[in-house]
C-alpha cells in the first residue's frame, strides 16, 4: 500500500503563500470583520479572554473571538514555537483520519482553508492528485494559518494555577524560571486530547515496571527503540499508529496486545455524522446524552484501515487477540509479560496505547477548586462497573463552561470554558478534532460574547440610553424649508386651468 506523503519541505511556493495570507486578511476587511473591540475595559483586569493552547483549536478560537469583536485576547502555549498541538508529536498517523476537504480552523474563510494553502504551496494539480491529507502537511498548514491569521501566541508559557477572585480569574504562569500572574474575565482551555489529566497508564504497567521500561503513545521516540522488541498494550488507532511508527523506525519486533477476541471493525459513531447532531446534541436531555454515549463507549474504538495496513505490512509485526495483561514485570534489562490466558512474552520495552484520563479535576491548575467541578457522575446514575472515563468526564454547559457540583458554591466556574477531548460526553463528538471546529468554535465564541455583554449590562444600558448626538446639521436642509403663505400648494385643478 502506498501512503500519501507530504511534498518536500523546500518545495512550497513562499511567495504564493504570502499573497494568499494577504488576500485572506483582505477578505476580513471586505466583510467588515476587522476586529474592532466592543467589550468595555474592566478595571483591574489584564485580559477579556485567555486561551490556553495554540494548536488548531486555540488558533481557531482566537480568530473567532477577533471576528466577533472581542478584544484583549491572549493565547499561550507551554510548547516551543512549532511544537504546539499534536501534529508534530503524539499524532503518529501517516494521513489524517478526516476527509480530504474537512472544514477546519478557517471558520468559513476560503482563503484560510487547507485546500487554498495546499494549492498555493504546491499547485492545483498536486492537490487534485492527493488522495488523503498527510499529517505532516496538515502540521505545516496549521503553522501557516497562525501567521496568515496574524494570531499572536506566547510560547513556552505554562498555566500553573487558576485562582478565583471577585469578578475575574487570577492566572499563575511559569516561563522558564520566571513566575508571574495575570488576570482575565474568561479562561478557555483548548488543551486537546491530553487536557483532562494526561495520558492513562494502566496499573499493570504503572505499578509493575520502572519508568525507563515503559512509555505512553503520547510521548515516546520510535527512533530510540530501533532494534528493540516492543510490546504495545491496546488495539485502537493510537496503538496501531505507534506500531507503524516503531516498525518504520526499525524496531526488531512489535507485538500488539488486545484483550478482545477480535478487533473492533466498525464505529458506533457513524450515525452521528450529520450536521444536526454536531450542532444540537448538547441540547438533548441528560438522560438521552448519557444513553447515547454509553452506547458509543460499549463498542471498542476501531483502528482505521490505513493504520492497520501500515503495521501488518511488516513481517515482524504480531497481533495478539484475547490477550489482556495479567502482569508486567522487569526482567533484567527488559520486561516479562504474562497475559490473562497465561502466555509469557519477553520484550525490551512497553508502550501503553490505552488512551487518556477524562477527569477535569485532575487538571493541575484546578487544584484549588477541583472538588467543586461537576462531572457526569454527579448528574446521572452510574451503574456499578460503568465506564469510569465516561462518568469522570466534565459536565458542561451549552457554551462549554464548567458547572458547579453544588449550585452556588463556585459560580466562577462559568467563566472557565473547557474544550479538552473529554468534553465529548457533553457534546457527543470529540472536542478539538478537525471536524469539530466549524461547530464548536462559533458556539464557544457566541457564549463568551453573550456572557461578557450581559455582565456589563449596566454599562451597555447607559450607552443605549445616553443623549443622542446630532449627526444631521440643520443647515444641511435649512434652505429647502418652506415658510409663511408659500406653504400652501396649489390644487391640481388650478394648475390644470392655468395651463
**Do 235 and 161 lie in a common domain?**
no
Domain stops at, among 311, 332, 352: 352
Helices 135-148 + 114-122 axis angle, to 10: 100
**Do 221 and 346 lie in a common domain?**
yes
**Do 220 and 180 lie in a common domain?**
no
**Do 68 and 155 lie in a common domain?**
yes
DSSP state of 384: T
**Distance (Å, whole) CA 216 – CA 445:** 34
Domain stops at, among 306, 331, 352: 352
**Do 384 and 348 lie in a common domain?**
no
307 within a domain of the structure (yes/no): no
481 within a domain of the structure (yes/no): no
**Distance (Å, whole) CA 69 – CA 452:** 12
65-66-67 Cα angle (round to 5): 90
Domain stops at, among 422, 440, 457: 457
Nearest to 12 by CA among 102, 106, 143: 143
Q: What is the value of pTM for the model shown? A: 0.91
CATH number at residue 42: 3.50.50.60
**Do 236 and 374 lie in a common domain?**
no
The domain tally of the chain equals 2
462 within a domain of the structure (yes/no): no
pLDDT attached to residue 488: 64
| DSSP result, 303-340 | PPHHHHHHHHTSTTEEEESS--EEEEEEETTEEEEEET
138 within a domain of the structure (yes/no): yes
**Do 248 and 335 lie in a common domain?**
yes
Q: Which helix (H) or strand (E) holds 186?
A: strand 178-192
Range of the domain at 221: 203-264+320-352
311 within a domain of the structure (yes/no): no
**Distance (Å, whole) CA 18 – CA 263:** 46
**Distance (Å, whole) CA 303 – CA 300:** 9
Q: Which three cell numbers stand for residue 446?
A: 457566541
Run means of pLDDT, 10 residues per run, the chain, 499 residues: 50 92 89 84 94 96 96 96 92 87 88 96 94 94 95 97 95 97 98 87 96 95 97 95 97 96 80 84 92 80 90 97 96 96 96 92 94 95 81 94 96 96 86 89 96 95 91 93 72 62
**Do 73 and 113 lie in a common domain?**
yes
Residues near 324 by beta carbon (within 8 Å), at least 6 away in sequence: 257, 259, 339, 340
339 within a domain of the structure (yes/no): yes
Could you tell me if 293 and 427 are in contact, meaning their C-beta atoms sit under 8 angstroms apart?
Answer: no
pLDDT attached to residue 294: 87
**Do 137 and 213 lie in a common domain?**
no
**Do 135 and 152 lie in a common domain?**
yes
279 within a domain of the structure (yes/no): no
Nearest to 450 by CA among 419, 414, 420: 414
**Do 151 and 237 lie in a common domain?**
no
**Do 340 and 423 lie in a common domain?**
no
260 within a domain of the structure (yes/no): yes
Amino acid at each position: 500500500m502506498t501512503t500519501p506523503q507530504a511534498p518536500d519541505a523546500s518545495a512550497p511556493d513562499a511567495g504564493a503563500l504570502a499573497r494568499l495570507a494577504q488576500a485572506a486578511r483582505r477578505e476580513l476587511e471586505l466583510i467588515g470583520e476587522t476586529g474592532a473591540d466592543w467589550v468595555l475595559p474592566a478595571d483591574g483586569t489584564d485580559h477579556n479572554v485567555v486561551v490556553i493552547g495554540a494548536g488548531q483549536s486555540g488558533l481557531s478560537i482566537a480568530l473567532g473571538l477577533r471576528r466577533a469583536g472581542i478584544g484583549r485576547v491572549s493565547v499561550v502555549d507551554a510548547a516551543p514555537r512549532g511544537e504546539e498541538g499534536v501534529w508534530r508529536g503524539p499524532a503518529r498517523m501517516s494521513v489524517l483520519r478526516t476527509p480530504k476537504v474537512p472544514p477546519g480552523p478557517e471558520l468559513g474563510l476560503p482563503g484560510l482553508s487547507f485546500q487554498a494553502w495546499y494549492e498555493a504551496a504546491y499547485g492545483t494539480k498536486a492537490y487534485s492528485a492527493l488522495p488523503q491529507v498527510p499529517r505532516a502537511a496538515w502540521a505545516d498548514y496549521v503553522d501557516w494559518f497562525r501567521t496568515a491569521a496574524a494570531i499572536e501566541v506566547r510560547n513556552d508559557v505554562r498555566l500553573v494555577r487558576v485562582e478565583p477572585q471577585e469578578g475575574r480569574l487570577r492566572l499563575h504562569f511559569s516561563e522558564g524560571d520566571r513566575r508571574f500572574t495575570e488576570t482575565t474575565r474568561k479562561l478557555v482551555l483548548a488543551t486537546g486530547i491530553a487536557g483532562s489529566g494526561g495520558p492513562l497508564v494502566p496499573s499493570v504497567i504503572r505499578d509493575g515496571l520502572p519508568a525507563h521500561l515503559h512509555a505512553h503513545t503520547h510521548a515516546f521516540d520510535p527512533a530510540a527503540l530501533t532494534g528493540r522488541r516492543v510490546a504495545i498494550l491496546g488495539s485502537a488507532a493510537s496503538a496501531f499508529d505507534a506500531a507503524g511508527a516503531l516498525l518504520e523506525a526499525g524496531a526488531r519486533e512489535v507485538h500488539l496486545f488486545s484483550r478482545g477476541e477480535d478487533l473492533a471493525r466498525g464505529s458506533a459513531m457513524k450515525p452521528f455524522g450529520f450536521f444536526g447532531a454536531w450542532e444540537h446534541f448538547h441540547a438533548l436531555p441528560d438522560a438521552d446524552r448519557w444513553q447515547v454515549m454509553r452506547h458509543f463507549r460499549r463498542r471498542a474504538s476501531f483502528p482505521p484501515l490505513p493504520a492497520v495496513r501500515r503495521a501488518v505490512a511488516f513481517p515482524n509485526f504480531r497481533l495478539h487477540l484475547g490477550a489482556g495483561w495479567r502482569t508486567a514485570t522487569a526482567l533484567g534489562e527488559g520486561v516479562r509479560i504474562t497475559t490473562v490466558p497465561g502466555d509469557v512474552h519477553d520484550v525490551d520495552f512497553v508502550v501503553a496505547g490505552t488512551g487518556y484520563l477524562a477527569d477535569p479535576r485532575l487538571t493541575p491548575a484546578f487544584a484549588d477548586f477541583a472538588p467543586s467541578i461537576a462531572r457526569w457522575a454527579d448528574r446521572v446514575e452510574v451503574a456499578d462497573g460503568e465506564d469510569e472515563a465516561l462518568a469522570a468526564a466534565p459536565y458542561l454547559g451549552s457554551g462549554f463552561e464548567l458547572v458547579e457540583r453544588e449550585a452556588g458554591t463556585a459560580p466562577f466556574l462559568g467563566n472557565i470554558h473547557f474544550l479538552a477531548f473529554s468534553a465529548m460526553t457533553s457534546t457527543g463528538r470529540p472536542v478539538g478534532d478537525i471536524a469539530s471546529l466549524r461547530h464548536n468554535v462559533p458556539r464557544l465564541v457566541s457564549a463568551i460574547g453573550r456572557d461578557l455583554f450581559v455582565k456589563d449590562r449596566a454599562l451597555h444600558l447607559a450607552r443605549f440610553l445616553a443623549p443622542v448626538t446630532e449627526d444631521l446639521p440643520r443647515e444641511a436642509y435649512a434652505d429647502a424649508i418652506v415658510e409663511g403663505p408659500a406653504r400652501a400648494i396649489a390644487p391640481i385643478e388650478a394648475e390644470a386651468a392655468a395651463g
